[in-house]
């Protein structure tokens, strides 16, 4: 595994969505010049007044509209990191990240805080001294060797 600087992919964004008690959602994006987010360029937020109700296995229907809103009219986006899975099983059943990859046409890294029972292909990653892993998947880029 290489620990050097990842190749330049253009503007990188990490996004997340928070659901509001009013029924809408607020999306936030952190934009960086590099994939390790060493040089944060900007932060953005957007509010979507209404979102679809949660449906198991179709989380993307709820998350994509706020992501569209916060990433609207951004040029040069080359990498996106989302809170969730790119695919939900080793056969490639699409999750939020796969739908974002199709929507925005760029590589997407999915980082999930909890294990999804069918996502046995997700790579567990420990950060610092944490004993609880994050589960990482990706779309639009080759798997590491």
99: CATH? 3.30.2170.10
Residue given tokens 């360029």 in the structure block: 41
Indicate the pLDDT class of residue 145, thresholds 50, 70 and 90: low
pLDDT digits 0-9 by tens, 73-101: 888 899 999 999 999 999 999 999 999 99
Q: Tell me the residue range of the domain where 96 lies.
A: 11-139
DSSP state letters, 37-57: -SSEEEEEEEEES--PPP-TT
Query: What's the total number of domains in the chain?
Result: 1
**116 in Cβ contact with 127 (< 8 Å):** no
Find the range with the poorest average confidence among 16-20, 23-27, 51-55, 97-101.
51-55
Q: What is the CA radius of gyration of the chain?
A: 15
Decide if 2 is inside a domain.
no
Inform me whether the pLDDT recorded for 26 exceeds 80: yes
Q: How much is the pTM?
A: 0.88
Cite the DSSP H helix spans in the chain: 59-71, 96-104
* Alpha-carbon distances, residue 115 vs 84, 125, 140 (angstroms): 10, 12, 22
């Amino acid at each position: 595994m290489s620990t050097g600087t990842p190749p330049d992919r253009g503007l990188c964004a990490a996004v997340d969505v928070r659901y509001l008690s009013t029924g809408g959602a607020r999306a936030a994006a952190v934009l960086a010049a590099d994939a390790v987010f060493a040089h944060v360029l900007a932060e953005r937020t957007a509010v979507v007044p209404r979102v679809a109700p949660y449906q198991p296995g179709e989380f993307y229907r709820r998350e994509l509209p706020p992501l569209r809103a916060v990433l609207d009219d951004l040029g040069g986006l080359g990498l996106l990191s989302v809170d969730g899975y790119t695919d939900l099983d080793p056969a490639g059943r699409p999750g939020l990240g796969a739908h974002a990859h199709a929507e925005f046409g760029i590589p997407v890294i999915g980082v999930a805080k909890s294990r999804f029972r069918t996502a046995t292909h997700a790579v567990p990653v420990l950060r610092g001294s944490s004993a609880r892993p994050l589960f990482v998947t990706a779309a639009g880029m080759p798997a590491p060797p």
